[in-house]
Amino acid sequence: MIRQRTIQKSVHTSGVGLHNGEKVTITLKPAEIDQGIIFRRTDQKKVSEVKASPDAVKDTKMCSAIGQDTSRIATVEHLMSALSAKGIDNIIVEIDGSEVPIMDGSSIPFIYLLQTAKIREQESSKKFVLIKDVIEVKDKDKWARFEPYDGFKVDFTIDFPHPVFTESTNQVAVDFYNESYITEISRARTFGFMQEVEYLRSNGLARGGSLDNAIVLDEYKIINSDGLRYEDEFVRHKILDAIGDLYMLGHSIIGNFKAYKSGHELNNKLLLALQSHKESWSLITLNSQDPKTSDLANRYLNSMNGILNQEMIEVYQ
């Protein structure tokens, strides 16, 4: 059987929040079978916990934030994306502030942190969400959709009215049973527009943003002197975000996620739609010995443990 995963030992890292600009430390700790992904704020008198779930998402303005007002934790999506990529089912994320640090704006620092903690397989089978029917949500011209697929694929299209965005770099599809999250997605950084910075800052957002943790665009061009990490880094970052948003389910998805101009809000709406259409999916386990699921099981294991997930050292610079 494919087993649930946690980490072997506690690890921590520090950085600043993209939006609040405050220095925070996060500590990742092993968790028990079926515990899920637990965020725990430790900087307040009363320690508060929030379990990752579609309902836990309370704010989707510029990031995905979970929890209630005083126990809020913002910008969880890049860490969630890394947890999804490493197939972590159970983990405790302790944080001494209200926002997960932005690090370099991508998820590779979190992948690196998880690699340091080492993965531990647990004595219980891992549950996957198997998409059986199309589920779609729309907001004007934007849409996000799940379709049945024998693996996990993300197909994303963006469209910004800005000269840097071209048709050839606005769409990417990645099939994660054949392609590596680490090489294809994990290094893609968050991005923002100069024109919006002042407005965002006056609303208490983007205060920790800098050229060290974001790609910044003025009216015509990218202002970071070292350019892009991928030719189509913007859409790849949207895939990174979507994978993190979808992992609020707490389970890996077997299906195809397709999106046009989607973001945190619509990604979350799709999860809520999924929850209310129980006939369109089921929770399954995979077993290499079971002829019905052996093919998926072997391909999943290969993507997790094979070369696709071992490329850390080469790409981390």
Angle at 103 (CA atoms; ends 100, 109), nearest 5 degrees: 100
Residues 6+ apart with CB under 8 A from 232: 168, 169, 170, 172
Residue 232 engages Zn ion in binding (rule: CB under 5 A)? no
Task: Tell me how far, at minimum, the Cβ of 149 lies from Zn ion, in Å.
Answer: 24
CA separation, residue 41 to residues 68, 73, 141, 212 (Å)? 12, 8, 37, 26
Residue 268 engages Zn ion in binding (rule: CB under 5 A)? no
Task: Tell me how far, at minimum, the Cβ of 243 lies from Zn ion, in Å.
Answer: 10
Residue 265 engages Zn ion in binding (rule: CB under 5 A)? no
Task: Tell me how far, at minimum, the Cβ of 178 lies from Zn ion, in Å.
Answer: 24
Residue 106 engages Zn ion in binding (rule: CB under 5 A)? no
Which residue from 94, 99, 184, 241 is in contact with Zn ion, where contact means CB under 5 A?
241
Site string for Zn ion, 108-147 (x = CB under 5 A): ----------------------------------------
* Cβ distance to Zn ion smaller for residue 42 or 203: 203
Piece of 36-44, 187-195, 217-225, 286-294 that binds Zn ion (CB under 5 A): 187-195
Distance CA 116, CA 158 (A): 34
**Pair 110, 78: CB distance under 8 Å:** yes
* Cβ distance to Zn ion smaller for residue 90 or 267: 267
In angstroms, how far is CA 199 from the centroid of its own chain? 26
Q: Which amino acid is at 38?
A: I
Task: Tell me how far, at minimum, the Cβ of 297 lies from Zn ion, in Å.
Answer: 31
CA separation, residue 146 to residues 254, 269, 274, 277 (Å)? 10, 12, 9, 12
* Cβ distance to Zn ion smaller for residue 214 or 308: 214
The per-residue b/e assignment along 303-314, b for 16 or more CB within 10 angstroms, e otherwise, is bbeeebbeeeee
Task: Tell me how far, at minimum, the Cβ of 106 lies from Zn ion, in Å.
Answer: 8
Piece of 6-14, 198-206, 237-245, 293-301 that binds Zn ion (CB under 5 A): 237-245
Using CB under 5 A as the binding criterion, the count of chain residues that bind Zn ion stands at 2
* Cβ distance to Zn ion smaller for residue 190 or 303: 190
Residue 213 engages Zn ion in binding (rule: CB under 5 A)? no
Question: By C-alpha distance, which of 169, 125, 165, 173 is closest to 147?
Answer: 173
- Residue 68: what are its φ and ψ, rounded to 5°? -85, 175
Catalytic residue among 78, 162, 264, 277: 264
* Cβ distance to Zn ion smaller for residue 102 or 131: 102
Which residue from 20, 64, 186, 190 is in contact with Zn ion, where contact means CB under 5 A?
190
| Torsion angle, alpha carbons of 175, 39, 187, 165, to 10 | 80
Site string for Zn ion, 38-77 (x = CB under 5 A): ----------------------------------------
Task: Tell me how far, at minimum, the Cβ of 130 lies from Zn ion, in Å.
Answer: 27
Piece of 241-249, 264-272, 283-291, 298-306 that binds Zn ion (CB under 5 A): 241-249
Residue linked to tokens 């983007």: 206
Residue 107 engages Zn ion in binding (rule: CB under 5 A)? no
Residues 6+ apart with CB under 8 A from 91: 6, 7, 28, 29, 30, 31, 37, 38, 83
Report residue 276 as tokens.
């209310």
Residue 81 engages Zn ion in binding (rule: CB under 5 A)? no
Can 264 be counted among the known catalytic residues? Answer: yes
Distance CA 197, CA 184 (A): 28
Distance CA 105, CA 185 (A): 12
Which residues in this chain contact Zn ion in the complex, by CB under 5 A? 190, 241
Q: Which residues are catalytic?
A: 264
